[in-house]
Amino acid sequence: ERISYREHMTDSLDPNILQQVQMMLRRDLKLGADAVLPEDMPFFGGDVDLDSLDMLLLVTSIERQFGVRISNQAVGKEAFQTVATLTRFVQAHAAQTTPAASPAQETNWLSRLPHGEAFRFVSRVIEVRPGQSAKGAWTLTGNEAFFGGHFPGNPIVPGVLIAEALAQISGLAGADSDQRGGKLVHVDVRFEQPAIPPVEIELNAKITASLGALQTCDVWAQVGPTIVARGLITLHRGDGGAK
């Protein structure tokens, strides 16, 4: 059931939530630790003028930190007016939960990738929950051509290709059986352990926020129980594939 933001808006601000929101704004908007963010500071037309990517990054952080699901764009716009309105939105919706969706029906998900076989870094798709998540695997034998230069005698799976593989599985998380991938617009992936061939890398993507055509995924790659890379990938849903 959709809940009206105005019906749940309170007059007072929780100082703890306010402080967390202000810290989040300083971090995600790169304003600096000493930036002054008064409660009535507007998000549009003032010193801070949010664009779509800024809002998407903030939505992702809010959903991660507070467990708040911002799925209705009208509510999102109403909440993102000032520091105070955003804080009140978090207060009003922090206890809400979203029911899980049922697994996707069988389909040839690899055919949904717009890439040719030579630039496809998903060997098999394990599971897709359209609009929610996707899991796949990239299997490498060690005989792939790029290992000849990365690094001779001591091959390591290139991090940039792991990031591309995560972008491709992210495209499947947001696609249905009639859609093809999405354009890659933002990557923030850190690499924690090397992946050494022969190896099978499990690829995971979970959609955490959507705003218009933009969609952000939590992504991680692992070898067995070991995480080798994790981060965020943002795609623009539309014609074309990941760059």
Matching residue, tokens 């799976």 = 157
Q: Is the dihedral of CA 11, 15, 17, 18 positive or negative?
A: positive
| DSSP letter string, 80-145 | TTBHHHHHHHHHHHTT---PPPPPPPP--GGGG--S-GGG----EEEEEETTTEEEEEEEE-S-SG
Query: Is there a catalytic annotation at residue 236?
Result: no
HSE value, Cβ hemisphere, 13 Å, CA-based, for 201: 32
Q: Which of 8, 93, 115, 150 is catalytic?
A: 150
Contact 129, 44 (CB under 8 A): no
Cβ neighbours of 157 (radius 10 Å)? 27
Q: Interior CA angle at 115 toward 129 and 112, to 5°?
A: 30
- β-sheet bridge partners, residue 122: none
Q: Can you tell me the distance from the alpha carbon of 236 to that of 242, in angstroms, rounded to the nearest whole number?
A: 9
Cis ω before 99 (30° cut-off from 0): no
Contact 121, 242 (CB under 8 A): no
Contact 169, 229 (CB under 8 A): no
Which residues have a catalytic role annotated?
150
